[in-house]
Amino acid sequence: MARIHDTLDTAALAYGSTSASAPQDEAAFDRHLDERPQGQNDQDDAGNSDPIFLADVDRGDAVNQQPDLRLVVISNRVAPFDPSKPQTGGLAAALEPVVQRSGAIWIGSSEHRGDGSERPLPLVQTGAGEVARLDLPAKDYPGYYRGFSNSTLWPALHSLSGQMSGSDEDYEGYRNINDFIARAALGVRDRDAFWVHDYHLLPLGAALHDFGIERPTGFFLHTPWPAPEMIERVPHHRELMNSMLKYDLLGFQTNRDLENFVAGLRAVFGLESKDGVVTTERGQTRLQKFPIGIDPKQFAEYLAADLSPAEQEKVSSLLQKFEGTKFAIGVDRLDYTKGIDKRVEALNQHLKAEPHSISLLQIAPSSRADVEEYQKYKDSVENAINHVNNEHGTNEWRPIHYTNDSFSQAALARLYRAAKIGVVTPLRDGMNLVAKEYVAAQDPQDPGVLILSKFAGAAEDFSENEALLVDPNYPEEIAAAISKAANMPLDERVARWRPMMNKIESFTIHDWAADNVREINKSRITVPADQFHRVGLGWTNEFQLPQFERHVEALKAYNTIDSADVDKKERAHKEVEETREAFRATLEHTQDRLWDLPGKL
String of DSSP letters for 390-439? HHH--SS--SEEEE-----HHHHHHHHHH-SEEEE--SSBS--HHHHHHH
- pTM here is 0.78
* 195 or 58, higher pLDDT: 195
Model pLDDT, residue 139: 98
Cα 145 from Cα 133, distance rounded (Å): 16
Cα 372 from Cα 358, distance rounded (Å): 33
Active-site entry in 209, 222, 350, 551: 222
Q: What is the pLDDT of residues 247-275, one digit of tens each?
A: 999 999 999 999 999 999 999 999 999 88
CB 360 within 8 A of CB 420: no
> Average model confidence (pLDDT) for the chain?
83
* DSSP structure class, residue 158: T
Q: What is the pLDDT of residues 424-436, one digit of tens each?
A: 999 999 999 999 9
CB 440 within 8 A of CB 402: no
| Per-residue pLDDT at 357 exceeds 70 | yes
Q: Burial code of 351-379, b = ≥16 C-beta within 10 A, e = fewer?
A: beeeeeebbbbbbbbebbeebebbeebbe
Model pLDDT, residue 600: 31
Cα 290 from Cα 554, distance rounded (Å): 44
The residue count of the chain comes to 601
Asked if 222 is an active-site residue, the reply is: yes
CB 201 within 8 A of CB 181: yes
Instruction: Compute CA 160 distance to the chain's CA centroid, rounded to the nearest angstrom.
Output: 19
Asked if 589 is an active-site residue, the reply is: no
Q: What is the pLDDT of residues 90-103, one digit of tens each?
A: 566 677 777 877 78
Among the listed residues 348, 283, 290, 249, the one whose alpha carbon sits nearest the alpha carbon of residue 98: 290
| Per-residue pLDDT at 65 exceeds 50 | no
Single-letter residue type at 229: E
Model pLDDT, residue 544: 39
CB 419 within 8 A of CB 448: yes
Among the listed residues 28, 39, 27, the one whose alpha carbon sits nearest the alpha carbon of residue 238: 39
Q: Which residues make Cβ contacts (< 8 Å) with residue 472, sequence separation at least 6?
A: 339, 342, 343, 425, 426, 427, 453, 454, 455, 478
Single-letter residue type at 374: Y
400-403: strand order across its sheet: 400-403, 359-363, 327-331, 421-424, 449-453, 468-470
| Per-residue pLDDT at 527 exceeds 70 | no
Neighbours of 95 (CB within 10 A): 25
Active-site entry in 140, 257, 341, 429: 429
Q: How confident is the model at residue 246 (pLDDT cuts 50, 70, 90)?
A: very high
| Residue 122: exposure state from Cβ atoms within 10 A (0-12, 13-18, ≥19) | middle
Q: What is the pLDDT of residues 369-424, one digit of tens each?
A: 777 888 899 999 999 999 999 999 999 999 999 999 999 999 999 999 999 999 99
* DSSP structure class, residue 147: I
Q: Cα-flanking dihedrals φ and ψ of residue 376, to 5°?
A: -65, -40
| Per-residue pLDDT at 111 exceeds 80 | yes
| Residue 139: exposure state from Cβ atoms within 10 A (0-12, 13-18, ≥19) | middle
Q: Which residues make Cβ contacts (< 8 Å) with residue 436, sequence separation at least 6?
A: 293, 294, 458, 461, 504
What are the beta bridge partners of residue 281?
Answer: none
Q: Which residues make Cβ contacts (< 8 Å) with residue 14, sequence separation at least 6?
A: 21, 532, 533, 534, 535
Q: How confident is the model at residue 55 (pLDDT cuts 50, 70, 90)?
A: very low
Among the listed residues 515, 27, 40, 490, the one whose alpha carbon sits nearest the alpha carbon of residue 286: 515
CA atoms 104, 109, 112, 115: torsion sign: positive
The alpha carbon torsion through 168, 172, 175, 178 (nearest 10 deg) reads: -130
